[in-house]
Amino acid sequence: MTSVFSLEVALALRRKAAQMASAAAAAAAGMGCYSQTSWALRRLGAGGGALASAATRRRNCSVAAAVFDNQNREYVIVGGGNAAGYAARTFVEHGMADGRLCIVSKEAVPPYERPALTKGYLFPPEKKPARLPGFHTCVGSGGQRQTAEWYKENGIEVLYEDPVEAFDGKTQTLKTSSGKILKYGSLIISTGCAAARLPEKIGGDLPGVHYIRDVADADSLVSSLGKAKKIVVIGGGYIGMEVAAAACGWNLDTTIIFPEDHIMPRLFTPSLAKKYEELYEQNGVKFVKGALIDKLDAGSDGRVSSAILKDGSVVEADTVVIVGIGAKPSVSPFEAVGVNIEVGGIEVDSMFRTSIPSIFAIGDVAAFPLKMYDRIARVEHVDHARKSAQHCIETLLTSQAKAYDYLPYFYSRVFEYEGSSRKIWWQFYGDNVGETIEVGNFDPKIATFWIDSDSRLKGVFLESGTPEEFSLLPKLARSQPIVDKAKLKSATSVEDALEIARSSL
């Protein structure tokens, strides 16, 4: 059956081809320019009727190209986030971007390092907040700052504020929100995730309620923080902790609400969480644990004024940031490519190829084989966004056939604004499964090791390490050495513990 989108494409192409053929016929009358029927009209076949014959009689050589709205068609990236920026860099490095690559983005600016939005971007004006163009990709990995001018200089076509709304794999075409019809040879889906939102009926869309996924969201939050007195952060994950730490820089009355028993439950042990909770409390942050939101109430001015919990208690707030109710992979309109029902996202192989030839998926939206743990995973983190983009494009442009072998990595940096009594920076590599051994008292550092029943080190966490110590972590997590648990438990310092682990390599 012909899809509705296929019919829309056909009609749009006929209209454009007719317009261009008419203009070309007049222009070519004295030039003798002739070419074969356009790709679009050939696709239409006999149904093109008189339109096709008119175009074949005489037309400008560029009619075939003009029926589509993108000039660069060999490679098209859908999405303008971190992964898209790093993919663009890889195309440039291989000399395959100029006149060939098109990026289609819903944002108004080129790709940027998204982690800044919940860190430095939220600092108050007097504490040197991060601002664009300072953190466009690929500065986060020490690369060049890819501004709009960079894309132009490298011949990359970027369509801003025009997300893709429809897709037809048979005709290899896309339709954007503005009605543009785009053609691709190879398609890279890099659509990321969308923040889950509270329903409107319980106050999820009230003025003063914020979600953070892009720079426009962050701008709106910064504007609210400048006027706020009491802020509630819903969610005790690492993004929620980053937002709360930034709010401390504004000297705001800050409360974090979450349903679990402690912060960062997907990674932190209860003992580790307690150390960080105490630090936040020293900075004036209050915690409401084991709590669920019933609704958000508005004041007389229509703006959010409080969070009502399921137990009936009320937490006053003039600004609410919702970051802990999940994010959903943005698979639309590409569901037909193949969605993994267990982890969400578009399913790909170890080289980011989907089930349809010439279509790839990278970054947060990709459900990929996590080789070292033998499972399908979807990772929402900038490190994977960068690395998956590079691996995918290397595979696409070269003879590389090496499977993607990702080592899970997470980090956070908070309280880094001027005047902070203590800056926090932790890193984690590996898998947090098995018995845990904690070393250190958090003053100034602490480490946690996850060890399985065979005494193999599976994951390692370190707070406030030196560059040399941090560089050891991925080596340990990837090698998974057998460690002497008794020695590790008896270590008198983080430095001693890391040396014991190092000696096991």
Is pLDDT of 10 > 80?
no
Pairing, β 75-78 against β 101-104: parallel
Does 297 lie in the same domain as 271? yes
Is pLDDT of 500 > 70?
yes
Q: How many domains are contained in the chain?
A: 3
What confidence tens digit (pLDDT) does each residue in 321-357 have? Answer: 998 787 899 999 999 999 999 999 999 999 999 999 9
Is residue 9 in some structural domain? no
| Residue range 109-133: mean pLDDT, rounded | 96
pTM tops 0.85: yes
Does 320 lie in the same domain as 206? yes
pLDDT-based confidence at residue 152 (cuts at 50, 70, 90): very high
Is residue 5 in some structural domain? no
pLDDT at residue 399, as a whole number = 85
Is residue 345 in some structural domain? yes
What confidence tens digit (pLDDT) does each residue in 416-450 have? Answer: 998 898 999 999 999 999 999 999 999 899 999 99
Q: Which of 325, 356, 375 is the last residue of a domain?
A: 325
**Residue 171 phi, psi dihedral angles, 5° rounding:** -95, 0
Does 241 lie in the same domain as 309? yes
Q: Is the peptide bond before 329 cis (omega within 30 degrees of 0)?
A: no
pLDDT-based confidence at residue 32 (cuts at 50, 70, 90): very low
Does 140 lie in the same domain as 220? no
Q: What percent of the chain has pLDDT over 90?
A: 84
Among residues 382, 336, 341, 385, the alpha carbon closest in space to that of 190 is found at 385
What burial letters (b/e) apply to 42-80, b meaning 16+ CB within 10 Å? ebbeeebeebbebbbebbbeebbebbbbbebbebbbbbb
| Residue range 64-78: mean pLDDT, rounded | 87
Does 334 lie in the same domain as 477? no
Does 228 lie in the same domain as 134? no
Is residue 443 in some structural domain? yes
What confidence tens digit (pLDDT) does each residue in 153-185 have? Answer: 999 999 999 999 999 999 999 999 999 999 999
Does 317 lie in the same domain as 268? yes
| Amino acid letter, residue 239 | I
pLDDT at residue 18, as a whole number = 60
Is pLDDT of 44 > 60?
no
pLDDT at residue 153, as a whole number = 98
Is residue 54 in some structural domain? no
Does 76 lie in the same domain as 178? yes
Q: Which domain holds residue 157?
A: 71-194+329-398
Is residue 169 in some structural domain? yes
Is residue 209 in some structural domain? yes
Does 190 lie in the same domain as 211? no
Is residue 431 in some structural domain? yes
pLDDT-based confidence at residue 17 (cuts at 50, 70, 90): low
Average pLDDT of every residue of the chain: 90
What confidence tens digit (pLDDT) does each residue in 381-427 have? Answer: 999 999 999 999 999 999 888 999 999 999 999 999 988 989 999 99
Does 367 lie in the same domain as 320? no
The CATH number that applies at residue 344 is: 3.50.50.60
The CATH number that applies at residue 460 is: 3.30.390.30
